[in-house]
Amino acid sequence: MTHRHLTLTTALALALPLGGCGVLDRDQAPVPMTITANDWNGWDPDHESTETTTEVEAVEGQTVRVDDGLEITFTDVGDDEVEIRTSDAMSPVKEGGGIDLTTDEMEFTVERGSALELATPTMDAGTTYELVLTD
């Protein structure tokens, strides 16, 4: 076998497993998602929140900027869940409204049938994001 054939054979052998694990498989249809951003201010009791709604199609590897601030990258896209990575640390909003002010979490999963609510981990001012898979 010549060096050229050996290189080609090696490249093909390495590429085949990638297709089976989804790395090269781009057959997943985009998944519609609604992202609603609400800003808040802990200093001003008269602050009126500005709500911004963004409709996106989640495609693996794609990054979207929401509300001129947070970037969200779709790291894994399936029909029933979408895994995301945020550009900044965010806190999942706990039942009852609490957040973790010390979080460094940047990877989350949005599941069909339930909203994922993320908040800026601060008490001063920030934004709450609600992500929902839509039909």
Residue 82, domain member (yes or no): yes
Q: What is the pLDDT of residues 80-121, one digit of tens each?
A: 999 999 999 999 999 888 899 999 999 999 999 999 999 999
- What's the number of domains the chain is made of? 1
Q: Is the pLDDT of residue 77 over 60?
A: yes
CA distance 99 to 63: 25
Is 49 within the bounds of a domain? yes
Q: Is residue 22 part of a domain?
A: no
Domain span holding position 74 = 29-133
What pLDDT, on the 0 to 100 scale, is given for residue 25? 52
- Side chain identity at 84, as an amino acid letter? I
